[in-house]
């Protein structure tokens, strides 16, 4: 089989239309690959494919959405395993995602294996069974192409895939599948050994179980436990109890049972494997987590208000959750993780007991579960959303310090940790490269796969070409620069604008092209409205208007820059962040990009050229029927309702991105793809020709839009201030005081944007929206 | 001998012609507060201040309080004056009618406070503290505490204190050591030593209600572990439906301080020894309850600065008219005396104009803020209530610090106008400087006020509180942009306002990066905000005066003086804004450059 990822998997089949199976099918469809979703024929079913069809219908209603576009949903064909065996025969990859029972799985394999194409891959999504058990007694021809592909829930969003292959598996086939999962599905594929729970759940279950046990034993409340075993350790704020609520309390006994039955007697897991009567009672009472009546936390809606309550581990009673302000966490803010673990109070001791046990456990699992520490760190980061893997955490503590403290407490120091303590850590920076400690005690350079380019690697040991408090410009090789936002949440502020201008100049003088990219969680959540709000509160109207004018000027400079600029977003690209992309020559977007002109939510309109660019893009859309009015209305509707695209593909459908813009599925490949696109554009690059004037309808159209707004108001779908904002937007998009006979130039539209912005930000309602967004993170509907 | 006449004309001008305080009568619960009623109350307050409190001001200072074995006596005449004061209902002006109060606006109470403080600051402090205690209990106490104590605090037969300070704990209340242990019956046993407790022990009332900050056994460290307790001097007993003081509680006064000023006010050391008390508000939430009392008290202290300043100004003016020294060019050589009244000398005039401009401007600032206390609690529109609350929160530290600074400056200028006669005790002028001095210290030093303004109020809601001042000033300037008559006022105001905007933006930006930059600028910023806000109020007063001048029965000289004083403020006082702005722009560098041990 060829290793071209575009040709390896032309069609796939998923068997088992449960939560995981159906969502895996959806994600394969997201990659543009046709997929069959099959399940059993229920007894006495009228529609023999009822299960798969029902699953498909559920997928379309699930939030967060398993599909990136509705188009992708059409690539999934439901069916059943009795009537559709011929479809299995057409598949290059068959994924089994049925109930975790080795016997039932074996009977399924018996039925389908005869229908597989000769080189088709069969994989199981099992999380608790072992490859050796699933392939026992199977012929060598199946073992060579049978693997475990363990996706994490939800498969579209969780970047980890653990892959287990037998020693005698076909290396070429495995390599091709890995590349497909990497490039087309966007997963980081970690090779795990055929051991119980593989990597992430093996450590994760131990960690969760330790944290729960110690909270009971040490009298730590669930809120305090989650506050400590959470952000201070680089762990999501759900902590442990919140995580159990999220995945379901009843899942824990399942995973524990799997590990209990399969781990060797000496494994430390057995020592922490305890059941707690309170948790059994919660499950029995329907407190199975967020899918049930609540779990360790619940929302009490009696009396109209929503009160978040937490269970008392000692009494089992619910009481309003108490926001934690712990001295141990305050200590960690100043003194780092070590200060937390050495803080001499109940939560400090709790943090130490949980994390030391977990990290020591992880340190003894290499090479048992994976060949190297990098695989373990990657698995915990991408499978459990930890900011740092266990070995990175040990390095933050100091491997020597950690080993010494374990020793001082008379606990076993795992050999690999002893090695790291002696060598000076699990990772070290060698000039401009990162190296990790091998199990034999030597450091090995961390190699990125071809096509993976990380700004973090480039920055290691390098100096930026330009830098200020909110942005940097980097040389990423081959004559391409990378403009990076570094402000809080990558909000656009005056410093970013200033450095953007300088960066365009410097790139034009010394390089060929520029990429706008960063490795934050979000490309940019928009302009810094805190600054705008403050200026408005102190009535500094001139400064505000200047700030708008500066942004307009720089974004226009970006548009007409003498070098090509490629925007490369991932995560949220909102407001002023999306306006950067609208002014770029091209976009190479990570598939998980959420783009929108959301200014209306805070009572303003896009005024750094965003309204103008989006209008021009709608007007120029060749697929638009019926003259300019539908285009204007489309722009109006999208901006006035602050609609956000839920994927890069959807952003393309909404014209936030152009048809020719690229989408990268794997986050780690985004920069390399963007750079390639930039170099492509740099050949014979000509800046865009100055924008011609456009003919716009003027006040008559604004009046028509206003009638539409009033109708929405009457229906209760728009608030009074929505109407004010939309009216201001209508004036901009209809061209102001013009009519079809006149031409409206680019700068005229910018003037209209500015005027609308300045008028809106003087209203108390807009200021209230901005303040609400800043303090709660949610829009105010006033 | 000093003299005092309550400045009724100036007060009425601010209330009626500038602030339109009559609109308060349109708010629920304040229907009685019509301009006529307000004027009548003010007349009576003026009479009480002038004839009952003021005659005891100098004698009280000379005699002071005495301490003997736990008993404190106030100066001669004070008990009788206090009895007259409460008999007139002056302790219950703003109290809730259901506890025997009159339900009148807070604004009116602040004006009464001004008169009483001018007349006798030491005595006026006692009802002031009762007022704060009343509000803390009303806002945070349970129903039983309210039913027992509020009627007594309202009618003035019992008085209140706030017991915060301890020997090791002044501005930093996190250092409080006093302890409270649950007694098992819902009450607590409070032990500890409190110092500097105004009216902690005296002979004016039946008993005293102490509000004490202390720590519960399970208290977290710092201010997060402070709770408030009500500890009466006598445990109350129910006497057939009426409450009266019963057995003595475990709190004794072990001494009073010898002080620079306010000699008529006893400043006590109180020792609590297993005293019985009750929790006010939630456990560990004492700071919140304390601030209910404190915010009100801070405005009241600002008005003390105003009150003492008014007395000083009136006497300096009288002396300047009467005292003759030297000749001025073209002077009054008409009556056979070889010297002119010193009021004719430009330097004396400068001092008098400074006093007058600062006082009348400060009064407008205080009452504008106080008006919003009522709007914040009673306006029917929640958005307006919140806006008013924002304004009060922002301006309270400014009123407190700026007006107490002015009070001291004016008392000091009054001595200067008096020359050597101002420096001797007999004249009664030096007392005012001694009395005024404390107002810059207690209820949070003026430095603490500036930190409150810059550290907490300025950044709140990305400047939401500032909007309540900056938008009205901006709108005022826009409204009068093309008014050539107003230009001499609006020109300097616009310039100073621009400096204030720049300085505000600068502090907001630097504070994010380096908090010490903001704290080093805090004092200058408070002064800048105070100067500009008063400047705006002066411009409004001048325009109001001009508008009124053409009307029937207008006092042309009075109104003309407002316009001229406003112009003086713009030309001779508001320019200080530039100096404060320059200091802010210079930053903390040279403030902190010298090592602490290099001094």
Answer yes or no: do A347 and A306 share one domain: yes
Which whole number is the average pLDDT over B8-35? Answer: 95
Residues in chain B within 8 Å Cβ distance of A540: 501, 505
pLDDT digits (tens, 9 = 90+) for B103-113: 999 999 999 99
Interface probe with B: pick from A530, A537, A545, A773, most Cβ of B within 10 Å: A537
In a domain? residue A479: yes
Interface list for B 205-264 with A (CB within 8 A): 221, 224
What is the separation of C-alpha B1 from the centre of its chain, rounded to a whole number of angstroms?
Answer: 26
Residues in chain B within 8 Å Cβ distance of A536: 463, 467
Distances (CA, A) of A702 to A511, A696, B92: 45, 10, 60
A–B CB contacts, 8 A cutoff, strictly below: 46
Beta strands in B136-286 (DSSP E): 158-163, 179-182, 188-198, 207-214, 227-232, 234-239, 242-248, 251-256, 267-280
* Spatial distance between the Cα atoms of B449 and B400, rounded to a whole number of angstroms: 7
Q: What pLDDT score was predicted for residue A2?
A: 36
Residue B211 is given by DSSP the state E
Here the tokens at position A72 are 């992708």
Residue A748 phi, psi dihedral angles, 5° rounding: -60, -40
Q: Rg of the Cα trace of chain B?
A: 24
Cβ–Cβ contacts within 10 Å for residue B513, how many? 9
Q: What pLDDT score was predicted for residue A614?
A: 98
Residue A492 is given by DSSP the state B
β-bridge mates for residue A428, sequence order = A435
Here the tokens at position A166 are 């037998």
Which whole number is the average pLDDT over A431-445? Answer: 91
What is the separation of C-alpha A607 from the centre of its chain, rounded to a whole number of angstroms?
Answer: 28
Q: Looking at CA atoms only, how far is residue A756 from chain B in angstroms?
A: 19
Q: Do residue A539 and residue B474 have CB atoms under 8 angstroms apart?
A: yes
Structural domain that includes position A329: 200-406
Q: What pLDDT score was predicted for residue B253?
A: 98
In a domain? residue A667: yes
Answer yes or no: do A562 and A510 share one domain: yes
* Spatial distance between the Cα atoms of B455 and B492, rounded to a whole number of angstroms: 28
Residues in chain B within 8 Å Cβ distance of A534: 462-463, 505, 508
Residue B163 phi, psi dihedral angles, 5° rounding: -105, 90
pLDDT class for B220, splitting at 50, 70, 90?
Answer: confident
Answer yes or no: do A673 and A704 share one domain: no
Mean model confidence pLDDT for chain A: 94
pLDDT digits (tens, 9 = 90+) for B377-431: 999 999 999 999 999 999 999 999 999 999 999 999 999 999 999 999 999 999 9
Distances (CA, A) of A583 to A487, A556, A664, A677, A681: 20, 7, 20, 16, 15
* Spatial distance between the Cα atoms of B502 and B438, rounded to a whole number of angstroms: 33
Q: What pLDDT score was predicted for residue A7?
A: 58
User: Is B321 at the interface with chain A, CB within 8 A?
Assistant: no
Last residue of a domain, which of A365, A382, A406? Answer: A406
pLDDT class for A432, splitting at 50, 70, 90?
Answer: confident
Report CA dihedral (B211, B217, B222, B227) to the nearest 10 degrees. -20
**CATH number for the domain harbouring residue A14:** 3.40.50.720
Site of tokens 């009124």:
B548
Interface probe with A: pick from B282, B284, B461, B511, most Cβ of A within 10 Å: B461
**B463 closest CB neighbour out of A327, A534, A541:** A534
Query: Is a pLDDT exceeding 70 seen at residue A139?
Result: yes
Q: What pLDDT score was predicted for residue A624?
A: 76
Q: Looking at CA atoms only, how far is residue A527 from chain B in angstroms?
A: 15
Answer yes or no: do A182 and A205 share one domain: no
Q: Which residues, other chains included, contact A780 with Cβ-Cβ below 8 Å and sequence gap of 6+?
A: A768, A769, A772, A773
Answer yes or no: do A102 and A25 share one domain: yes
Nearest by Cα to A164 from A391, A369, A448, A337: A369
Answer yes or no: do A208 and A183 share one domain: no
In a domain? residue A633: no
% of residues, chain B, pLDDT over 90: 89
In a domain? residue A293: yes
**CATH number for the domain harbouring residue A572:** 3.90.226.10
| Residue A121 region by backbone torsions, left for phi larger than 0, else alpha for psi between -120 and 50, else beta | beta
Q: Do residue B471 and residue A325 have CB atoms under 8 angstroms apart?
A: no
Query: Do A253 and A275 form a contact (C-beta atoms < 8 A)?
Result: yes
Q: Looking at CA atoms only, how far is residue B503 from chain A in angstroms?
A: 11
Q: How far does chain B reach from its first CA to its final CA, in angstroms?
A: 45
In a domain? residue A239: yes
Interface list for B 342-401 with A (CB within 8 A): 383
| Residue B196 region by backbone torsions, left for phi larger than 0, else alpha for psi between -120 and 50, else beta | left
**CATH number for the domain harbouring residue A270:** 1.10.1040.50
In B419-486, where does DSSP find H-type helix? 420-423, 430-437, 446-451, 464-479
Q: What pLDDT score was predicted for residue B333?
A: 59
* Spatial distance between the Cα atoms of A602 and A608, rounded to a whole number of angstroms: 15
Size (chain A), residues: 782
| Residue A735 region by backbone torsions, left for phi larger than 0, else alpha for psi between -120 and 50, else beta | left
Q: What pLDDT score was predicted for residue A744?
A: 95
Query: Do A162 and A153 form a contact (C-beta atoms < 8 A)?
Result: no
* Spatial distance between the Cα atoms of B406 and B535, rounded to a whole number of angstroms: 15
Which whole number is the average pLDDT over A257-269? Answer: 93
Residue A317, Cβ density class (10 Å: 0-12 exposed, 13-18 middle, ≥19 buried) = exposed
Answer yes or no: do A703 and A666 share one domain: no
β-bridge mates for residue A664, sequence order = A590
Q: How many angstroms separate the most distant Cα atoms in chain A?
A: 87
Q: Which residue has the higher pLDDT, A584 or B327?
A: A584
Q: How many angstroms separate the most distant Cα atoms in chain B?
A: 84
**A538 closest CB neighbour out of B221, B461, B504:** B504
Residues in chain B within 8 Å Cβ distance of A539: 467, 470-471, 473-474, 501
Report how many domains make up chain A. 4
Residues in chain B within 8 Å Cβ distance of A771: 461-462, 464
Beta strands in A154-225 (DSSP E): 160-165, 188-191
Q: Which helix (H) or strand (E) covers residue A151, if one does?
A: strand A146-151
The dihedral built from the CA positions of residue A655, A660, A664 and A669, taken in this order, carries a sign that is negative
**B463 closest CB neighbour out of A327, A538, A764:** A538
pLDDT class for A4, splitting at 50, 70, 90?
Answer: low
Query: Is a pLDDT exceeding 70 seen at residue A1?
Result: no
Answer yes or no: do A546 and A570 share one domain: yes
Answer yes or no: do A11 and A67 share one domain: yes
Query: Is a pLDDT exceeding 80 seen at residue B331?
Result: no
**B462 closest CB neighbour out of A325, A537, A543:** A537
pLDDT digits (tens, 9 = 90+) for B488-544: 999 999 999 999 999 999 999 887 778 888 899 999 999 999 999 999 999 999 999
* Spatial distance between the Cα atoms of A683 and A672, rounded to a whole number of angstroms: 17
In a domain? residue A767: yes
**A533 closest CB neighbour out of B463, B504, B505:** B463
Q: Which residues, other chains included, contact A680 with Cβ-Cβ below 8 Å and sequence gap of 6+?
A: none
The dihedral built from the CA positions of residue B143, B145, B146 and B147, taken in this order, carries a sign that is positive
The dihedral built from the CA positions of residue A604, A608, A611 and A614, taken in this order, carries a sign that is negative
pLDDT class for A302, splitting at 50, 70, 90?
Answer: confident
Q: Do residue A539 and residue B473 have CB atoms under 8 angstroms apart?
A: yes
Answer yes or no: do A84 and A210 share one domain: no
In a domain? residue A127: yes
Mean model confidence pLDDT for chain B: 95
Q: Do residue A543 and residue B463 have CB atoms under 8 angstroms apart?
A: no
Residue B451 phi, psi dihedral angles, 5° rounding: -65, -40
* Spatial distance between the Cα atoms of A420 and A372, rounded to a whole number of angstroms: 13
Q: Which candidate in B114, B360, B430, B443 is catalytic?
A: B443
Q: Do residue A539 and residue B501 have CB atoms under 8 angstroms apart?
A: yes
* Assembly ipTM: 0.91
Nearest by Cα to B88 from B36, B135, B53, B129: B53
Last residue of a domain, which of A148, A174, A191? Answer: A191
* Spatial distance between the Cα atoms of A663 and A658, rounded to a whole number of angstroms: 11
Residues of A with CB under 8 A from a CB of B: 325, 327, 530, 533-541, 543, 764, 767, 770-771, 774-775
B443 part of the active site: yes
Residue B263 phi, psi dihedral angles, 5° rounding: -65, -30
Contacts 24+ apart (CB under 8 A), A430-434: A431/A461, A432/A457, A432/A460, A432/A461, A432/A462, A433/A457, A433/A460, A434/A460
* Spatial distance between the Cα atoms of A239 and A223, rounded to a whole number of angstroms: 9
Number of C-alpha atoms within 13 angstroms, CB side, residue A747?
A: 4
User: Is B474 at the interface with chain A, CB within 8 A?
Assistant: yes
Q: Do residue B505 and residue A534 have CB atoms under 8 angstroms apart?
A: yes
Q: Rg of the Cα trace of chain A?
A: 28
Answer yes or no: do A319 and A397 share one domain: yes
A513-517 and A480-485 strand pairing:
parallel
Which whole number is the average pLDDT over A441-447? Answer: 93
Residue A484 is given by DSSP the state E
Which whole number is the average pLDDT over B323-341? Answer: 80
Q: What pLDDT score was predicted for residue B550?
A: 85
**B470 closest CB neighbour out of A538, A774, A775:** A538
Answer yes or no: do A245 and A387 share one domain: yes
Distances (CA, A) of B70 to A97, A460, B79, B192, B253: 85, 73, 18, 17, 5
* Spatial distance between the Cα atoms of A651 and A644, rounded to a whole number of angstroms: 8
% of residues, chain A, pLDDT over 90: 90
Query: Is a pLDDT exceeding 60 seen at residue A6?
Result: no
A160-165 and A146-151 strand pairing:
antiparallel
Which whole number is the average pLDDT over B189-216? Answer: 97
pLDDT class for B86, splitting at 50, 70, 90?
Answer: very high
Distances (CA, A) of B339 to B287, B326, B414: 59, 5, 21
Residue of chain B with shortest Cα separation from A529? B462
Q: Which helix (H) or strand (E) covers residue A15, if one does?
A: strand A11-15
Q: Looking at CA atoms only, how far is residue A762 from chain B in angstroms?
A: 10
**A533 closest CB neighbour out of B462, B470, B471:** B462
Query: Is a pLDDT exceeding 60 seen at residue A766?
Result: yes
β-bridge mates for residue A430, sequence order = A433
Q: What pLDDT score was predicted for residue B334?
A: 65
Q: Do residue B464 and residue A539 have CB atoms under 8 angstroms apart?
A: no
Query: Is a pLDDT exceeding 70 seen at residue A3?
Result: no
Q: Which residues, other chains included, contact A300 with Cβ-Cβ below 8 Å and sequence gap of 6+?
A: A306, A307, A308, A309, A318, A320
A93-96 and A76-80 strand pairing:
unpaired
In a domain? residue A615: no
pLDDT digits (tens, 9 = 90+) for A710-757: 998 888 889 999 999 999 999 999 999 999 999 999 999 999 999 999
Q: What pLDDT score was predicted for residue A352?
A: 97
Here the tokens at position A257 are 């049972």
């Amino acid at each position: 089989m060829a290793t071209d990822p575009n040709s390896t998997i032309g069609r796939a089949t998923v068997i088992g239309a449960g939560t995981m199976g159906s969502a895996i099918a959806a994600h394969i469809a997201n990659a543009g690959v046709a997929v069959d979703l099959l399940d059993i024929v229920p007894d006495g079913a009228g529609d023999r494919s009822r299960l798969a069809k029902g699953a498909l219908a559920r997928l379309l209603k699930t939030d967060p959405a398993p599909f990136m576009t509705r188009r992708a949903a059409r690539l999934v064909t439901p069916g059943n395993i009795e009537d559709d065996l011929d479809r299995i025969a057409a598949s290059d990859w068959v994924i089994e995602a049925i109930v975790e029972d080795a016997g039932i799985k074996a009977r399924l394999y018996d039925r389908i294996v005869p229908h597989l194409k000769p080189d088709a891959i069969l994989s199981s999504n099992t999380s608790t069974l072992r490859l050796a058990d699933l392939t026992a007694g199977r012929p060598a021809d199946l073992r060579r192409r049978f693997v475990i592909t363990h996706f994490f829930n939800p498969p579209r969003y969780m970047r980890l895939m653990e892959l287990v292959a037998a020693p005698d598996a076909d290396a070429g086939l495995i390599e091709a599948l890995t590349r497909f999962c990497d490039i087309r599905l966007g997963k980081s594929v970690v090779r795990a050994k055929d051991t119980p729970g593989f990597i992430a759940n093996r450590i994760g279950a131990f960690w969760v179980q330790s944290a729960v046990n110690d909270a009971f034993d040490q009298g730590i409340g669930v809120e305090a436990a989650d506050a400590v075993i959470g952000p201070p350790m680089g762990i999501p704020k759900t902590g442990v109890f919140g995580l159990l609520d999220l995945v379901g309390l009843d899942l824990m006994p399942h995973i524990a049972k799997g590990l209990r039955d399969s781990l060797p007697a000496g494994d430390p897991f057995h020592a922490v494997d305890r059941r707690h009567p309170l948790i059994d009672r919660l499950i029995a009472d329907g407190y199975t987590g967020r899918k049930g009546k609540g779990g360790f936390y619940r929302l009490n809606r009696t009396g109209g208000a929503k009160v978040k309550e937490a269970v008392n581990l000692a009494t089992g009673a619910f009481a309003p959750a108490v926001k934690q302000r712990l001295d141990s966490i305050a200590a960690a803010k100043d003194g780092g993780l070590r200060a937390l673990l050495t803080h001499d109070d109940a939560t400090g001791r709790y943090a130490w007991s949980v994390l030391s046990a977990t990290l020591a456990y992880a340190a003894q699992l290499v090479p048992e579960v994976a060949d190297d520490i990098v695989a373990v760190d990657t698995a915990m980061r991408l499978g459990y959303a930890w900011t740092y893997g266990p070995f990175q955490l040990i390095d933050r503590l100091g491997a020597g310090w950690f080993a010494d403290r374990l020793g001082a407490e008379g606990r076993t120091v795992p050999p690999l940790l002893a090695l790291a303590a002696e060598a000076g850590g699990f990772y070290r920076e060698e000039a401009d490269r990162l190296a990790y400690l091998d199990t034999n005690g030597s450091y090995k350079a961390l190699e990125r796969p071809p096509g993976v380019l990380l700004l973090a690697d480039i920055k290691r040991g390098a100096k930026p070409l330009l830098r200020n408090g909110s942005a940097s410009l980097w040389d990423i090789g081959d004559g391409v620069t990378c403009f990076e936002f570094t402000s809080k949440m990558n909000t656009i502020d005056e410093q970013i604008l200033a450095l953007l201008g300088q960066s365009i100049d410097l790139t034009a003088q010394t390089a060929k092209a520029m990429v706008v990219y960063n490795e934050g969680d979000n490309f940019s959540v928009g302009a810094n409205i805190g600054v705008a709000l403050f200026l408005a509160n102190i009535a500094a109207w001139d400064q505000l208007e200047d700030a708008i004018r500066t942004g307009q000027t720089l974004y226009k400079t970006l548009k007409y820059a003498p070098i090509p600029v490629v925007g490369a977003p991932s995560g949220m690209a909102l407001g002023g962040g999306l306006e950067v992309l609208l002014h770029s020559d091209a976009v190479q977007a990570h598939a998980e990009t959420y783009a929108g002109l959301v200014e209306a939510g805070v009572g303003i309109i896009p005024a750094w050229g965003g309204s103008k660019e989006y209008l021009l893009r709608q007007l120029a859309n060749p697929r638009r029927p019926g003259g300019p009015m539908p285009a204007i209305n489309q722009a109006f509707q999208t901006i006035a309702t602050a609609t956000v695209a839920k994927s890069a593909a959807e952003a393309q459908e909404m014209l936030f991105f152009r048809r020719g813009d690229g989408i990268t599925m794997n986050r780690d490949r985004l920069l390399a793809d963007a750079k390639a696109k930039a170099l492509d554009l740099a050949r014979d690059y000509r800046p865009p020709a100055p924008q011609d004037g456009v003919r716009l309808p003027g006040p008559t159209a604004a009046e028509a839009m206003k009638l539409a707004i009033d109708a929405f108001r009457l229906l209760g779908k728009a608030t009074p201030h929505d109407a004010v904002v939309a009216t201001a937007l209508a004036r901009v998009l209809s061209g102001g005081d013009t009519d079809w006979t006149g031409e409206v130039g680019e700068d005229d539209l910018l003037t209209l944007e500015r005027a609308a912005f300045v008028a809106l930000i003087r209203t108390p309602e807009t200021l209230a929206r901005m303040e609400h967004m800043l303090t709660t993170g949610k829009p105010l509907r006033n | 001998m000093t003299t005092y006449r309550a400045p009724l004309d100036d007060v009425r001008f601010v209330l009626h012609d500038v602030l339109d305080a009559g609109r308060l009568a349109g708010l629920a619960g304040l229907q009685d507060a019509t301009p006529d009623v307000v004027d009548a109350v003010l007349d009576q307050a003026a009479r009480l201040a002038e004839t009952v409190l003021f005659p005891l001001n100098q004698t009280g200072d000379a005699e002071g309080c005495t301490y003997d074995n736990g008993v404190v006596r106030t100066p001669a005449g004070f008990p009788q004056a206090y009895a007259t004061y409460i008999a007139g209902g002056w302790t219950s002006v703003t109290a809730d009618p259901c506890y025997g109060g009159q339900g009148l606006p807070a604004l009116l109470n602040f004006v009464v406070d001004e008169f009483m403080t001018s007349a006798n600051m030491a005595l006026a402090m006692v009802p002031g503290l009762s007022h704060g205690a009343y509000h803390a209990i009303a806002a945070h106490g349970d129903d039983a505490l309210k039913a027992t104590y509020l009627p007594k605090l309202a009618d003035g037969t019992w008085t209140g204190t706030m017991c915060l300070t301890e020997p090791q704990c002044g501005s930093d209340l996190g250092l409080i050591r006093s302890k409270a242990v649950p007694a098992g019956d819902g009450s607590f046993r409070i032990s500890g030593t409190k110092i500097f407790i105004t009216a902690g022990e005296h002979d004016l009332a039946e008993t005293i209600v102490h509000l004490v900050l202390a720590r519960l056994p399970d208290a977290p460290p710092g201010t997060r572990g402070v709770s408030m307790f009500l500890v009466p001097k006598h445990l109350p007993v129910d006497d057939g439906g009426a409450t009266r003081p019963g057995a003595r509680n475990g709190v004794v006064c072990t001494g009073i301080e010898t002080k620079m000023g306010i000699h008529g006010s006893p400043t006590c050391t109180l020792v609590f020894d297993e005293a019985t008390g009750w929790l006010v508000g939630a456990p560990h939430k004492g700071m919140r309850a304390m601030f209910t009392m404190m915010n009100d008290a801070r405005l009241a202290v600002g008005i003390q600065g105003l009150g003492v300043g008014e007395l000083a100004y009136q006497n300096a003016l009288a002396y300047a008219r009467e005292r003759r020294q030297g000749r001025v060019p073209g002077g009054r050589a008409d009556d056979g005396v070889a010297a002119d009244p010193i009021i004719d000398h430009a330097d004396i005039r400068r001092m008098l104009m400074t006093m007058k401009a600062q006082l009348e401007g400060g009064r407008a600032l205080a009452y504008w803020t106080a008006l919003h206390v009522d709007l914040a609690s009673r306006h029917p529109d929640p958005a307006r209530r919140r806006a008013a609350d924002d304004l009060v929160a922002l301006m309270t530290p400014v009123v407190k610090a700026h007006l107490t600074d002015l009070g001291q400056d004016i008392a000091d200028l009054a001595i200067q106008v008096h020359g050597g006669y101002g420096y001797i005790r007999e004249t009664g002028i030096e007392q005012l400087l001694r009395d005024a001095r404390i107002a810059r210290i207690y209820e949070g030093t003026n430095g603490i006020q500036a930190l409150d303004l810059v550290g907490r109020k300025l950044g709140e809601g990305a400047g939401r509180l500032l909007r309540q001042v900056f938008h009205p000033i901006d709108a005022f300037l826009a409204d009068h942009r093309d008014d050539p008559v107003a230009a001499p006022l609006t020109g300097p105001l616009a310039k100073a306002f621009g400096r204030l905007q720049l300085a505000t933006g600068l502090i907001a930006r630097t504070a994010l990066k380096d908090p010490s930059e903001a704290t080093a600028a805090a004092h200058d910023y408070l002064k800048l905000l105070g100067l500009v806000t008063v400047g705006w109020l002066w411009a409004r007063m001048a325009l109001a005066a001009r508008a009124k001048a053409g009307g029937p029965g207008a006092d042309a000289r009075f109104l003309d003086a407002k316009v001229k004083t406003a112009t003086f403020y713009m030309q001779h006082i508001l320019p200080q804004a530039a100096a404060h702005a320059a200091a802010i722009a210079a930053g903390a560098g040279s403030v902190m450059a010298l090592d602490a041990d290099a001094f």
